[in-house]
Structure 1
Amino acid sequence: MRAALILIALAGAVVAPCGVAAAETVARHAAVAGDASGAGKVAVRDGKSLAAALRRARADRRIRHIELAAGTYELAAPLLIDERLSGGAGAPFVLSAAPGARPVLSGATRLPALRWQPWRDGVWRARYAGPAFQRMWLGQRALVRARYPNVDPAQAGFGGAADATSPERVARWSDPAGAVLHALHGNQWGGVQVPILGKNADGGLAYGAQTGNNRIMPPSERDRYVENVFEELDAPGEWFDDRKRGWLYFKPLAAARPPATGFRAGAHEALIRVEGGKAEVRHVRVRGLRFQDTEPTFLKAVEPLLRSDWKFYRAGAVTIENARDVRVEDGDFTELGGHAIVVSGRAREVRLSGNHIHDIGGTALAFVGRPAAVRSPLFEYQERLDVAALDPVPGPRSDDYPRDSAAVDNLIHDIGRIDRQATGVQIAMAARITVDHNSIYRVPRAGINIGDGTWGGHRITHNDVFDTVRETGDHGAFNSWGRDRYWHPDRKEMERRVAADPKLPLLDAIEPILMRRNRFRSDHGWDIDLDDGASNYVIEENLMLAGGLKLREGFARVVRNNIMVNGTFHPHVWFDDSGDVFESNLVMAPYQPIEIPRWGRSVDRNLFVGGGLAEARARGTDAGSAEGDPGFAAPAKGDYTVTNAALARRVGFVNFPMDDFGVRPARLKALAAAPDFPAPSAGGPGAPRQAAGTLAGLLLKPVETLGEQSAAGLASASGLWVLEVEAGGPGQAAGLLPRDVIVGAGRDTPGSFRPIADLASLRALLAAGRELDLVVVRAQARIAVRWPRAGGAGVER
């Protein structure tokens, strides 16, 4: 034993693995002790020795590398890599897998032996008095916390039911305190979770505050389920932890007594924190590890990320903050309850590369700054500041945000399994983030999301993003907002502000965002969706396979040399002097404009396939554009190279590579899927079919398309868009304004709200000449107006 101790001391870096004989310890570490390349290296085999090695490394600066043998490391607490573990520029601190190993860091812990007793209806129970948890496994199989409706593996989509919280079902629940309502947002703008606090005196559910979504509206009445309700423990594989009485209930997968051992429960929401305290932590590498089995964090997602649609919780399996030159490489992230990697607050030169992230509850990669870095921050869509109160200085107020960092060559799929307000790469309050050569698919919302205009400079290149917006709506494979400090929910007020001071839109969006040579596909929205003020973009040489491109209110967007297969250009409600450019693009359907008073700096020299050029010219654009067959090279193989060289020259279109999208490392490329490649079909999305008509002094048009729905901020493509209001008429008396959308009649409450879908429906209601309550959407908020009693009201003119 004395010899082993001497060798450990000589190595200055070896932690004896727990339970290994002294002779084995000597043999295992002799090479490290005698090899200069192994100097400063610690080899560990379990969670306790790993934590001990980190403690030793903080005290002994010679220890620069901790190497993990194969196996599962159950952590007593998340690992902390702080400034005391900082490496040097040429000698970083490394936490890595041993050669050929794939060690697992697990956020779960083994439950003690359970003495199961039969209870009733095939359910067993055992006494349990340990810590509370939200997730449980039997071996490697994830079990289901008691819920309604039950999980149906064959069912695609959200898997909810309209009667999940019906009075009849709630009446069966004795004490639902601690349950959670999971639902899609009422307008399908992501997901929401609502804690259930118990029952009210009338027997209805008492709810807490919504989490996860920053656009507070009633949750979907259809897409909802409830978990952690004792009375819903009725399906094989479900469990319930009765904290008040100290019983753990379980319905086995087979009709037999559950095993006493083999159960694991969630213990931690995070596994590694790379986080400086009084100083930055610098020069750290985390390499080749597998991260799994963390607890969900959705009920902690209460922080609004400015005026985006997100609320967020700043923790992932790996969380990085107050750090510089940190790399997380070649990792596997799976079976996580929350996010995978969160880069929060002050952080620079962080590189996340070569990771496989799949089957997790939340977002894959997030770069999220602190609001303290933002000048004149605002946190909800309807918030606004007077112009005189705005900080006029461009750019950030402090350095408390991620910058000069990158997400490269990551394979991301099947995420947002619990929290539908999730994305592959999230950027908010950050600058100069490179997102390059990632493959992202099977996601509930966008594959890449930029939440605001602060502070730009991002490079979005060579990504393959498809099978997106699977369970939600009004979104894109790429999505961005720009509701920055000047933003106001009243568009006319915004126009006045920008006309008076054209510098306002770029006070936060100070550097252009480049989107180049990506492949996007969204069959349930737009391939690229620049929404609500997203400004200062250069979008060029992208291949879009389904939904085309949307530009909503914003400034200084240059869109050139893109291919929109079976899609087109969707310009929505532009400002008079947007400065936008749309040139040398290939579209396969007529443009879909909505309220465009002026067409920016240039919309011209585009190639129309399948019609639309005459309509565009009639609106004053595309004098130098052309129509014709591009002669795509091999669309069935994903090659949409334009072979009609003469036609390409006429509009200035230049071909770009069709084989450089998505991940490049061989390990990940072998696993990555590819999108379906559509056969070219001219015509694209359907245009509005119904013309506007007049009714009682109103010029009205039915809302028919996804574009109209999105422009008005509606839950569905229904309602009547108010285009004009006659002076002195009943509509003006009711307070209706142009751009309002009439969506229903009656009180805005369940059971009394009658949807209005077309002119005939409203005409029938007004014909009686009685006072009438109307529900109207204005500036993306629902309000009530009262149509006055008047003789002749409802007579169509």
Structure 2
Amino acid sequence: MLRINSSKADFYVSPDGDDSNPGTEKRPFATLKRAQEAVRKLKKKKKKGAIIVLVREGTYYLKEPLVFGPEDSGTKEQPIIYAAYPGEKPTISGGKKLACDWKPYRDGIMMCELPEVKEGKLSFTQLFVNGKRQIRARYPNYDPGEPGVSGYIYVKAKVPDNLTPDSPDPDEDMTFSGQGPKGVFYDPDTFTKKRWSKPEEAVMHVFQAAYWGNLQYQIKDIDWNRHIIWFGRGGTQMGAKWAHDPCVINHRSRFFIENVFEELDSPGEWYLDRTEGRLYYMPAEGIDLAKAKVEVPLLKQVIEFRGSQDRPVQYITFSGFRITHTASTFFELYEVPSLGDWAIHRGGSVFFEGARNCRVEGCFFDAVGGNAVFINNYNRNIQVVDSLFVETGDSAICLVGSYHLTVGSQKMFPYECVVSNNLIHDCGVFGKQIAGVFISVAKRITVSHNHIYNMPRAGICINDGTWGGHVIEYNKIHDTCRETSDHGPFNAWGRDSYWCLLHSHGQPSKYPSVCHEAGDVFKDAMETVIVRYNYFRENSGWGLDLDDGASNYHIYNNLCVGVSMKLREGAYRLIENNIWVNGANSPCFHVGNVNNHDRYVRNITVMSTTFSKPENDLNFEMGAGYGEVYTLIYPPDKGPWLEEIDYNVFFSDVGEFYARVLTRDGKKKKYTLKEWQDLGFDRHSVFADPMFVDPKSGDYRVKPESPALKLGFKNFDMDRFGLLPDFPKKWLNEQQKIS
């Protein structure tokens, strides 16, 4: 990490400065924009050494994003550095501070007049009081003590396509292939008893029926007599090109509705009347509005690096800033970048496109409204390191290439970028189909030493098999998938050109000739993805979920507690020297391809019938509850199920080996170890206590007399998971305040 320990710099910026000043320490600039202009001029004169801009503590409210182009570039010999003054924590805000003259309204609600809003010059969808995001007036009410659990009711049913609303049809251009529902029926027994004067201003947040993520809809109208909520724009926040209807909503879908004045009835809630220009707020406990700082996000992005493949932005570092108050983006354009499940918005509070050798380090992304960092299309050696990400609206860090790529024709994708030593938690305030680190159509991305937890869905997600070569190592990931299902702390899809949709989900494929074969996966998954030395802890799903054709992986030396792993379709996976302890599901092999070349060797599996709570997992058949050590669903109907499966150690409180197999013809069978070995599998494997050193204290190394060592298992380092010792102390202190 870059350490700015000296107060010596070329230019200085301070909230107390003036842009007419020369930018010295005693007479600093007032804005980063003015410092940027000064750096451009200095570059022409100063030929050697870094150019450093030090920024004093305070809040810098940007009226427009700070954009760096090729003309702002440094060089390897002369990098450009914008950094916090030593020991200080400057804030870059995409918002505005409001001057509120609060007056009592009624029932504990306060009101202030905002003429700019009435004149149409100001509008916002988030409110921050003393640095904390407040709650838009909603039904049902939100309980901060139970985030992701409380504050929802269930849809009664989806409105059928042939039902004609009293109002015009929803906006078809805002849905993927017109697949979005027109609306839903609500249950009058659980729905609000109040009548809303402006239902068309309300926003519905609703989970997809399988809980792969959620959707947001602007409500178009409410039919109070037929109990129907009609949808307007929205519904683009998740989708999948491969699925006929990825955004299905039904009686399993939970929802809440916000931005309703009549529902302003709980501390911390607020409502903006844009017609009258009035802000209503019921103060949260402990808030003195006479002294409170009230801020609203306006900009979607605050820092942009914009170049091109031919003229990239180069050698610029941003270090030590708090970045906050960016606007929510869930009604912006979302797209599906590949055949993976996810839809994304190509934007972030810090945005890279056409950059090389640039860094964001030691920053605190505090409650930004969408993605925190988005690395888009052509980028090389972008580093996001040593930073804290908390309560982001969507994902923390996204690296996404162009979906227009043909193999080898262009270079419009992130390449050799690094995401390391970041603390990421409680993200996905608005979007639930999100990740701490999201990778799609990228190559050779290193994700290391990150600590990721309290996420609604994935810790790390690789959305497709294009182009591979990633290294995922030394991460500590736990308490993910808290609001969604059918996933894991690490999830990957293969869904590239050669994934067979007919074989997987019974739908037509462009490549029928390879439907039951492994296929030429290397044309997309060009280089092996390495997943090693990671710690995963959950109580449902799988720790390592290689779904729908994820291919060309080497997975070794990982510790999974409460979860194990899954391989579905795909080919060329080497799974070795891992430990799965008390998995909610046993190691699973789903829909195996013929000639898959998969190898599963020298792993330790310990299963418990009492450790997990299967009823908490929405979608899975729980092997743990039966002590099974393997589950195979639809293995190949010809040839070996795997290329090699041997030298493993199994143990469970059932006291004996069981493997469960469901074949393509619908037959189910449980195998004992002898029956399993008679099939040619695990001929050298044993059912025995692996003899962990001290599992109660988290030491899952095996003792010298362990049977695993005799079969070739090797102990691996378990004290380097997660953050490095040099993670910035100033953000650790902020983390303690948050906790």
Task: Determine if the TM-score, normalized by the shorter chain, exceeds 0.5.
Answer: yes
For 2:74 and 2:97, locate their aligned partners in 1 and report how far apart those are by CA, in whole Å: 34
> In the superposition, relative to structure 1, how do residues 333 and 660 fare at CA in structure 2: closer, same or farther (>3 Å)?
same
* 1:249-328 correspondence to structure 2 within 5 Å: 249-253=280-284, 258-259=289-290, 262-276=293-307, 279-300=311-332, 302-328=334-360
Partner of 1:764: none
Partner of 1:747: none
For 1:617 and 1:228, locate their aligned partners in 2 and report how far apart those are by CA, in whole Å: 61
* 1:612-761 correspondence to structure 2 within 5 Å: 612=657, 613-614=673-674, 616-645=676-705, 647-667=707-727, 671=732
> In the superposition, relative to structure 1, how do residues 298 and 546 fare at CA in structure 2: closer, same or farther (>3 Å)?
same
* 1:108-187 correspondence to structure 2 within 5 Å: 108-114=95-101, 116-128=102-114, 129-130=116-117, 131-162=122-153, 165-166=186-187, 169=192, 172-187=195-210
CA contact (8 A) 1:326 1:350 kept: yes
Deviation at 1:594, TM superposition (A): 1.1
Mark the runs of 5 or more structure 1 residues left unpaired by the alignment.
1-10, 31-42, 376-394, 674-797
Larger radius of gyration: 1
Partner of 1:607: 649
Verify: 1:28 aligned to 2:25, yes or no: yes
1:210 maps to a residue whose letter is: G
> In the superposition, relative to structure 1, how do residues 221 and 231 fare at CA in structure 2: closer, same or farther (>3 Å)?
farther
Verify: 1:336 aligned to 2:365, yes or no: no
Verify: 1:474 aligned to 2:486, yes or no: yes
CA contact (8 A) 1:170 1:205 kept: no
For 1:329 and 1:621, locate their aligned partners in 2 and report how far apart those are by CA, in whole Å: 48
Q: Deviations over 1:627-654 (max 9, x none)?
A: 2222111212221111144623442211
> Which stretch has the larger CA shift, 215-224 or 518-527?
215-224
Q: Deviations over 1:36-67 (max 9, x none)?
A: xxxxxxx54x4xx2222213333442573221
For 1:582 and 1:520, locate their aligned partners in 2 and report how far apart those are by CA, in whole Å: 19
SS of structure 2 residue aligned to 1:316: coil
Verify: 1:557 aligned to 2:582, yes or no: no
SS of structure 2 residue aligned to 1:360: coil
Partner of 1:514: 530
Q: TM-score, length-normalised on structure 2? A: 0.79
For 1:22 and 1:347, locate their aligned partners in 2 and report how far apart those are by CA, in whole Å: 33
For 1:200 and 1:73, locate their aligned partners in 2 and report how far apart those are by CA, in whole Å: 46
Deviation at 1:258, TM superposition (A): 4.8
CA contact (8 A) 2:321 2:362 kept: yes
For 2:24 and 2:345, locate their aligned partners in 1 and report how far apart those are by CA, in whole Å: 46
> Which stretch has the larger CA shift, 355-364 or 548-557?
355-364
Q: Deviations over 1:527-570 (max 9, x none)?
A: 10000111110111111111111001111111111111123311
Mark the runs of 5 or more structure 2 residues left unpaired by the alignment.
1-7, 156-185, 240-245, 608-628, 658-672, 735-739
Partner of 2:540: 524
For 1:396 and 1:234, locate their aligned partners in 2 and report how far apart those are by CA, in whole Å: 57
Q: Given the alignment, which residue of 52, 68, 85 partners 2:72? A: 85
* 1:576-587 correspondence to structure 2 within 5 Å: 576-587=594-605
CA contact (8 A) 2:14 2:57 kept: no
CA contact (8 A) 1:112 1:261 kept: no
CA contact (8 A) 1:242 1:248 kept: yes
For 1:171 and 1:332, locate their aligned partners in 2 and report how far apart those are by CA, in whole Å: 41
Q: Given the alignment, which residue of 4, 29, 36 partners 1:54? A: 36
1:525 maps to a residue whose letter is: G
Q: Deviations over 1:176-218 (max 9, x none)?
A: 2232111222101122222223346967322133132112111
CA contact (8 A) 1:558 1:581 kept: yes
> In the superposition, relative to structure 1, how do residues 253 and 424 fare at CA in structure 2: closer, same or farther (>3 Å)?
closer
Deviation at 1:578, TM superposition (A): 1.1
> Which stretch has the larger CA shift, 290-299 or 449-458?
290-299
Q: Given the alignment, which residue of 215, 221, 230 partners 1:198? A: 221
SS of structure 2 residue aligned to 1:52: helix
Percent of pairs with identical residues: 34
For 1:217 and 1:83, locate their aligned partners in 2 and report how far apart those are by CA, in whole Å: 44
For 1:520 and 1:23, locate their aligned partners in 2 and report how far apart those are by CA, in whole Å: 53
CA contact (8 A) 2:553 2:573 kept: yes
Q: TM-score, length-normalised on structure 1? A: 0.74
CA contact (8 A) 1:58 1:85 kept: yes
For 1:499 and 1:183, locate their aligned partners in 2 and report how far apart those are by CA, in whole Å: 35
Deviation at 1:401, TM superposition (A): 0.6
Verify: 1:189 aligned to 2:212, yes or no: yes
1:626 maps to a residue whose letter is: V
> In the superposition, relative to structure 1, how do residues 19 and 671 fare at CA in structure 2: closer, same or farther (>3 Å)?
closer
Q: Given the alignment, which residue of 590, 606, 630 partners 1:588? A: 606
Q: Deviations over 1:81-126 (max 9, x none)?
A: 1111100112111111111211111122111343x44433333333
Q: Given the alignment, which residue of 62, 68, 75 partners 2:55? A: 68
Say how many residue pairs are matched: 628
Verify: 1:354 aligned to 2:336, yes or no: no
For 2:21 and 2:501, locate their aligned partners in 1 and report how far apart those are by CA, in whole Å: 70
> Which stretch has the larger CA shift, 322-331 or 139-148?
139-148
> Which stretch has the larger CA shift, 645-654 or 342-351?
645-654
With CA pairs under 8 Å and 6+ residues apart, which has the higher RCO, 1 or 2? 2
SS of structure 2 residue aligned to 1:460: strand
Q: Given the alignment, which residue of 543, 546, 549 partners 1:533? A: 549
Deviation at 1:666, TM superposition (A): 3.5
Deviation at 1:622, TM superposition (A): 0.9
> In the superposition, relative to structure 1, how do residues 402 and 254 fare at CA in structure 2: closer, same or farther (>3 Å)?
closer
Q: Deviations over 1:375-418 (max 9, x none)?
A: 3xxxxxxxxxxxxxxxxxxx343111101111111111111122
For 2:208 and 2:364, locate their aligned partners in 1 and report how far apart those are by CA, in whole Å: 30
Deviation at 1:313, TM superposition (A): 1.0
CA contact (8 A) 1:192 1:219 kept: no
Q: Deviations over 1:308-346 (max 9, x none)?
A: 221111121211110000111111111222221111111
For 2:559 and 2:733, locate their aligned partners in 1 and report how far apart those are by CA, in whole Å: 18
SS of structure 1 residue aligned to 2:331: helix
2:303 maps to a residue whose letter is: I
> In the superposition, relative to structure 1, how do residues 262 and 626 fare at CA in structure 2: closer, same or farther (>3 Å)?
closer
Q: Deviations over 1:686-711 (max 9, x none)?
A: xxxxxxxxxxxxxxxxxxxxxxxxxx
Deviation at 1:426, TM superposition (A): 0.5
1:452 maps to a residue whose letter is: D
SS of structure 1 residue aligned to 2:315: strand
Deviation at 1:161, TM superposition (A): 2.5
Deviation at 1:222, TM superposition (A): 5.0
Q: Deviations over 1:723-768 (max 9, x none)?
A: xxxxxxxxxxxxxxxxxxxxxxxxxxxxxxxxxxxxxxxxxxxxxx
Task: Pick the structure with more helix per residue.
Answer: 1
CA contact (8 A) 2:13 2:53 kept: no
2:539 maps to a residue whose letter is: D
SS of structure 1 residue aligned to 2:257: strand
Partner of 2:181: none
Deviation at 1:12, TM superposition (A): 11
2:394 maps to a residue whose letter is: G
For 2:534 and 2:9, locate their aligned partners in 1 and report how far apart those are by CA, in whole Å: 49
* 1:380-459 correspondence to structure 2 within 5 Å: 395-459=407-471
Partner of 1:235: 266
CA contact (8 A) 2:136 2:271 kept: yes
Q: Deviations over 1:239-293 (max 9, x none)?
A: 1111123222222347999549732111112221112157210111111111122
Deviation at 1:225, TM superposition (A): 0.9
Q: RMSD value over aligned CA atoms? A: 3.0
